[in-house]
Chains A and B, each alone.
Chain A
Amino acid sequence: MSENRLLDRSSDAPVKRHMGLKASRTLANTSIYVLLVVISVVWLIPFICIVLQSFRVESTWQESYVIPKQWGLDNYRALFKTDFPRWYTNTFIAALFTAILQTIIVLCMSYTLSRFRFKMRKGLMRFMLILSMFPGMLTMIILYRVLSDLGLTQANALPGLILVYVASSGMGYYVSKGFFDTIPKSLDEAARVDGATRFQVLKKIILPLSKPIVIYTVLTAFMGPWGDFVFARYVSFGTSSGMNVAVGLYNWLNKDQIAKSYTMFCAGGVLVAIPVTVLFMCLQKYYVEGVTGGAVKG
């Protein structure tokens, strides 16, 4: 992209000297509006298409046109004759448990690393940094074998999946640690002088002040399982009743299935997207805070 173009449009100053300040500003703003409209259209088109196609009745095949010739809820009805409800429940339960457990673990970890100065603290953080450089996928091979020995794969994939999601989540402490770092330490100290134990400091001072980050953590933890593909696929290992929505819907787009289930995929996608999106949009504020805070802290 050209950075030159970028600047002309994003600033208030004259584009050309002989133009009036006001005229050039109007020009710049107009071009930005055009650009933003184009961006909005490009970004929304796939989602509009998927919604439209989910209502298509005349063909389940991937057609090259978008607007259905015949509208109907056939695809949604068809969904309920498949394992889709099962996948949906699986994913929902996984998301629920992950949201709760992962939040607890991440908060424990990040609070500790933010507030306590113990001997191994720096070493621990460095160790986790190095660990995170290993591709997590590598561990799937062995985790699958261990989980299958424990009987937690395929049809029983759900508990195994939750375990895998939650167990190592302590390594994702950065964002919430960054948040805790912004709460002044003197609050802890004042409370401790006032007679609070460390536990009481956490319960009575820090947690009430941490609502944004708790919500952010819950939200991201909840959204994770809806989008997870690779771990879920590994653990369910081809058994339909153990799949989550991502794996199940992915299979519908296989060469041999796409012809009869493409529109069903669209319908399933819409059903998956609705609750997650609604939840997300409601809690948007906290997500934005977490993302911007987290990136700045590194």
Chain B
Amino acid sequence: MTQYSDLEFLKLSKWQKAGYKCARFFTGIPTALLNLLKRIWGGIKGAGLAVKNEAADIWSTFVNGDWKTKLSFLVMGFGNLARGQILRGLLFLLFEVVFIGYMVLAGGYWLSMLPSLGKVGPTETYDEVLDIYTTTYNDNSFKILLYGVLTMFFIIAFIYTWRQNVKQNKLAEKILASGKPLKSGKDDLKSLVDDQFHKTLLALPMTGILVFTVLPIVFMILVAFTNYDGTHNGYSNNLFTWVGLDNFNTMLNWNVKSGGGTQSYAATFGEVLTWTLIWAFFATFTNYFLGMFVAMAINKKGIKFKKVWRTVLVLTIAIPQFISLLYVSKMFAKNGILNGFLMSMGWIQQALPFWDDPTWARITVILINVWIGIPYLMLVATGILMNIPADLYESARIDGANPWQQYTKITLPYMLFVTGPYLLTSFTGNMNNFNVIYLLTGGAPTNPAASGAAGAVGYTDLLITWLFKITTGAESQYYLASVVGILVFVVVALISLIVYNLLPSIKNEEDFQ
């Protein structure tokens, strides 16, 4: 396409400008993706280089080091101990002892079993005396996978610590050579509340994240490549094992029929994904604009009782969502208050199918979500609107802008600019908005064509509620849930990447400052 210079661009008409920008946006996508790939490749190359440098440094430390350093390669912390840094030395040594002990006693076993995820399942033996079958439980695939991953983490931690141990020796030699004293254990402890204070502060949060987020995520990603489900729970019935990319084939191949349903998993996935995106779009933007509108109405000059209006809305944030959602869900039910009211007024003859008709249900959840979301957005928008410098409006009014122009030329661009990142997180947050959907409809009405697709997926189900249904469904197809989870990640990551790379408002951070 033609490229315009800045001055040529300024000569275009309004529509030409919009078209040009739009075209630039889409033609920019391949470049952005290419740049991403380039950056990834650059990252890989950088990592390769880093490994090479590290190896070279380790080697030179070994060759140039004294005997204390050399021995430290085998006995971690020896150099520290020999040079008087008792505390550090003992910690290194302790870590090595624990590591070796763990690897010999348990780690080795878990690692060796990891490729097969267990060899012998539960066996039954007939006890002639008691005339019963007794089951002996043998290998446990779940534990093998879990502890296998844990052992890998441990090994990585060990390699890192070992590298630190080598570095310490090099550093210590350098410091001693320059005639300065080494840091004592007391200095080390002191530095934990001073120059190394960030390590102390991060220790607890990072441990939590590592154990309760990173480890489970790695585990669940791996589950996507196994046949772990209710009938292969890895212990009490059948072992589970690696199945390669089979599950992705099941989920994404149009020709693979789902068990029981009339359409493939791929078709169901497509439908659910489409609805998820539509939902996220509407849930985000209806709330955003209506919330902004309410905020502007309340904050308008001359409106009294501002605090009252605001408090009424804020009150609804305070009440735990599950109460309001569950209650409203029942209000809209066939025999609920709303239908009852409308019928008693004689406005309708039959109950409106709020939750029974797919389209009705979808519109209703979006509307109720507006009810849930506006108070929050009102608060956000109020804060930002108050930050818009008043002189911008004054200058616009002197320039002759009418209220509508003031809104589109000042308020809206400012809001969009400031809340750009917020909109993005809000969009992805809505994609994963489990509570609203699950507590309102539970995914209903059920999609008959897809009913076989693990857990009776419905017309208002998002990927996230579908995932939940799969895991709690009769067959507990964890592997499918895991595939859905990975796909959710891919979608969210792609959207975030595109938005971050292409939206100018996020790139030109300083524009409005």
Contact = CB atoms under 8 A, between A and B. Distances in A.
B371 A6 contact: no
Most chain A CB inside 10 Å of its own CB: which residue of B208, B296, B382, B387? B208
B387 A8 contact: no
B13 to A, nearest CB: 23
Given A11-B406, A64-B335, A131 B217 contact: yes
B317 interface: yes
Q: Which of A112, A135, A250, A266 has the most CB of B within 10 A?
A: A135
Contacts of A169: 205, 208
Interface in A69-94: none
Contacts of B220: 138-139, 141-142
Contacts of A208: none
Contact of A135 (B314, B322, B375, B485): B485
A292 B492 contact: no
Contacts of B376: 291
A6 B408 CA distance: 12
Interface in B190-205: 190, 193-195, 197-198, 201-202, 204-205
Contacts of B25: none
A96 interface: no
Contact of A65 (B194, B302, B337): B337
Contact of B289 (A1, A64, A167, A227): A1
Given A109-B205, A199-B197, A288 B438 contact: no
Interface string B444-485: 000000000000000000011001100100000010011001
B300 A29 contact: yes
Contact of B194 (A13, A131, A198): A198
A43 B316 CA distance: 7
B404 to A, nearest CB: 5
Contacts of A139: 212-213, 216-217, 220
B206 A142 contact: no
A281 B339 contact: no
B317 A296 contact: no
Interface string A167-182: 1111100000000000
Given A64-B340, A133-B492, A296 B208 contact: no
A243 B343 CA distance: 38
Contact of A273 (B323, B375, B387): B323
Max count, chain B CB within 10 A of own CB: residue among A43, A137, A262, A284: A137
Interface in B412-429: 418-422, 425, 428
A221 B481 CA distance: 29
Given A277-B319, A292-B383, A66 B289 contact: no
Contact of B209 (A133, A137, A171): A171
A295 interface: yes
Nearest to A173: B205
B300 A65 contact: no
A190 interface: no
A63 B340 CA distance: 8
B125 to A, nearest CB: 26
8 contacts: A1-B290, A1-B293, A11-B403, A138-B220, A141-B471, A169-B205, A197-B197, A223-B318
